[in-house]
A = this chain, B = another copy of it.
Amino acid sequence: MPVEFKQKTLSNGLTIIAEGDGDAHSSAAGFFIKTGARDESPELMGVSHYLEHMMFKGSDSISAEEINQRFDALGARNNAYTTHEVTCYYAQVLPEKLAPTIDLLGTMLRPALRTDDFDTEKSVIIEEIAMYKDNPFWVLYEECCDRHYVKHPLGHRVLGTEDTVGRLSAEQMRAYFDNRYSADNTTLALAGRVDFDAVCDQVESLCGGWQRTGASRDSAKPNLGSPDFVVHDERINRAYMLMLADAPAIDDDRRYAAQLLAQILGEPGNSRLHWALIETGIAEEAQAAFDPHDGVGQYFVYASGDPERADEIWAAAEKEIKSLPDAVTEDELERLRAKLATAVMLGGERPSDRMQRLGRLWTYLGRYTTLDEELERINAVTVDDVKEVYGAFAFEPRTFGKLLP
C-alpha cells in the first residue's frame, strides 16, 4: 500500500498520527479521546455519552447552528460515537477541506457546556435510554454486562440509567470534561491525502493551549462472572439467551487466535452454531464474537428462539462450545484466512476506515501496525494456537442470562 505513517506528539501531550496517501481523493480526520463508560465512577454513569452530545451545542466562539452550517458548507460527512473505552469525533471531506474541518472539530472540542443546554439535552438522553428498553437484545446485553463485570465499570451502560443521568449535574460534567478531555488523553488520527507538517502546525496553534492532566485508566483485570440469571418481560414473544465469558485482552498476542476461535464457533451464516442451531431449525438466531478490551477480553455467545425450546437451544450451543477443539482444523483456518485477507484489504480501501483503525489502535495500544502486518499475524495463527487459547480461557469465568416472556 502506498501509505506512509507519520506521528508527532505536541509538548502538551496531544498526539497526531497519519496514514498519508498522496493518491487518495478524500481525507479523514478524527479526534479520539481515551475515555468512555469504563472511566466513569458509578454515580457518573452515562456522562461520557452525554458529554458527546454536549460537544455539538457550541463553544464561546461558535453556536450550535454554526457548527451544523459549517460542516454542511464543508460538504463533510461527520459524526461522533461513545463506547466503553473511547469517544470519537470525526469527518470525511475532500482534501482541500481538511484544514477547516480540523479547525471545526478542534473548536467543538472546547465546548461552553452551558447549564441551559445541559438541562435541555438531559431529556433527549433520557428519551434515548427509554427507547433502548424496547429492544430485548439490549436489555439482556446490558443486564449481562452489569453482572459479568461485577462492580467494575466495564459493566456500565454507555447511556447510563434514567437515575444516574437524571442526577448528574453540569458541574460534575465539567469536572469530568476537564480531567478526561485533556491534551495528553487525545489523539488526532488522519488518513487519505494529508499534508502532515501543515496539519501539525495548525493543530499546535488550535490545540496547543489544551491542558495536560495525566488522565489515566485502571486497566487491571477485573473480577469476572456471576451466577446464571433469568429476566422476564411480558411484552416479548421469544426467548433470548446470552453468555459473556473471559477472553484475551487487547494487548494479548493470543487475540488473533481468540478471534478465529469465535468465528469458527459463531460467525453468522457459516459456523458451528449456524449449522447446529439455525440450519436444523432449533433456533432463530445464533452467533458468537470476540471483543477485546483494555486489560480483559470477552467472548459473546448469543441465541434466540421459541421459549418452549430455550433449554434445548442452549444445550445445543453448549455442546458446540465443548466440542470446539475438534472443530479447529487446518481446513477451517484456511477458509477463515481467505475471508480475513479480503476483510483486511477492503478495510484499507477508504481513508475513513483507515483513520478509524489508526485512531483506535493508537488509543488502545499507543503503537502503529500496518494492515499487512496485521494480516500476517492472523495468517500465522496455527491450529495449536487456537486450541491453546481455548484451553487457557475455556469460556470461564462466565455469566449466562435468559430473557423470557
A90 to B72, CA, bound (A): 34
Are A25 and B345 also in contact (CB < 8 A) when A72-B270, A72-B338 are? yes
> Which stretch (A159-167, A223-231, A347-355) binds chain B?
A347-355
A214 → B minimal CB distance (Å): 38
Asked if A405 lies at the interface with its beta carbon under 8 angstroms from chain B, I say no
Are A25 and B339 also in contact (CB < 8 A) when A68-B270, A270-B72 are? no
Could you tell me if B346 and A350 are in contact, using CB atoms closer than 8 angstroms?
Answer: yes
A339 to B346, CA, bound (A): 24
Could you tell me if B342 and A77 are in contact, using CB atoms closer than 8 angstroms?
Answer: yes
CB nearest to A91 among chain B residues: B342
Could you tell me if B339 and A72 are in contact, using CB atoms closer than 8 angstroms?
Answer: yes
Asked if A198 lies at the interface with its beta carbon under 8 angstroms from chain B, I say no
**Complex interface: chain B residues within 8 A of A341 (CB):** 75, 94
Are A346 and B92 also in contact (CB < 8 A) when A72-B335, A339-B75 are? yes
Question: Which residues A335-386 have CB closer than 8 A to chain B?
Answer: 335, 337-343, 345-346, 348-352
Could you tell me if B349 and A75 are in contact, using CB atoms closer than 8 angstroms?
Answer: no
Q: Chain A interface residue count: which class? A: 20 to 34
0/1 string, A375-402, CB within 8 A of B gives 1: 0000000000000000000000000000
Asked if A403 lies at the interface with its beta carbon under 8 angstroms from chain B, I say no
Out of B93, B346, B351, name the residue touching A26 (CB < 8 Å).
B346
Could you tell me if B270 and A73 are in contact, using CB atoms closer than 8 angstroms?
Answer: no
Question: Which residues A207-232 have CB closer than 8 A to chain B?
Answer: none
**Complex interface: chain B residues within 8 A of A1 (CB):** 25
Could you tell me if A92 and B342 are in contact, using CB atoms closer than 8 angstroms?
Answer: yes
0/1 string, A139-150, CB within 8 A of B gives 1: 000000000000
Asked if A234 lies at the interface with its beta carbon under 8 angstroms from chain B, I say no
A342 to B74, CA, bound (A): 9
A182 to B388, CA, bound (A): 53
Asked if A23 lies at the interface with its beta carbon under 8 angstroms from chain B, I say yes
**Complex interface: chain B residues within 8 A of A343 (CB):** 77
Asked if A76 lies at the interface with its beta carbon under 8 angstroms from chain B, I say yes
Question: Which residues A1-28 have CB closer than 8 A to chain B?
Answer: 1-2, 23-26
Could you tell me if B73 and A345 are in contact, using CB atoms closer than 8 angstroms?
Answer: no
Out of B97, B342, B349, name the residue touching A76 (CB < 8 Å).
B342
A282 → B minimal CB distance (Å): 17
Could you tell me if B350 and A73 are in contact, using CB atoms closer than 8 angstroms?
Answer: no
**Complex interface: chain B residues within 8 A of A75 (CB):** 337-342
A1 to B1, CA, bound (A): 17
Question: Which residues A55-77 have CB closer than 8 A to chain B?
Answer: 68, 72-77
A57 → B minimal CB distance (Å): 15
**Complex interface: chain B residues within 8 A of A2 (CB):** 23
Out of B26, B97, B335, B342, name the residue touching A349 (CB < 8 Å).
B26
Are A25 and B348 also in contact (CB < 8 A) when A335-B73, A338-B72, A341-B75 are? yes
Are A349 and B351 also in contact (CB < 8 A) when A1-B25, A75-B339, A94-B341 are? yes
**Complex interface: chain B residues within 8 A of A25 (CB):** 1, 345, 348-349
A342 to B26, CA, bound (A): 8
* 7 further interface pairs, Cβ-Cβ under 8 Å (given A72-B270, A94-B345): A25-B348, A26-B342, A73-B338, A76-B342, A77-B342, A93-B342, A349-B349
Of all A-B residue pairs in the complex, the 7 with the closest CB atoms, nearest first, are A75-B338, A75-B342, A75-B339, A349-B350, A25-B345, A72-B335, A26-B345
**26 pairs, CB–CB < 8 Å, chain A vs chain B:** A1-B25, A23-B23, A25-B345, A25-B348, A26-B345, A26-B346, A68-B270, A72-B270, A72-B335, A72-B338, A73-B335, A73-B338, A74-B338, A75-B338, A75-B339, A75-B340, A75-B341, A75-B342, A77-B342, A77-B346, A94-B341, A94-B345, A346-B350, A346-B352, A349-B351, A350-B350
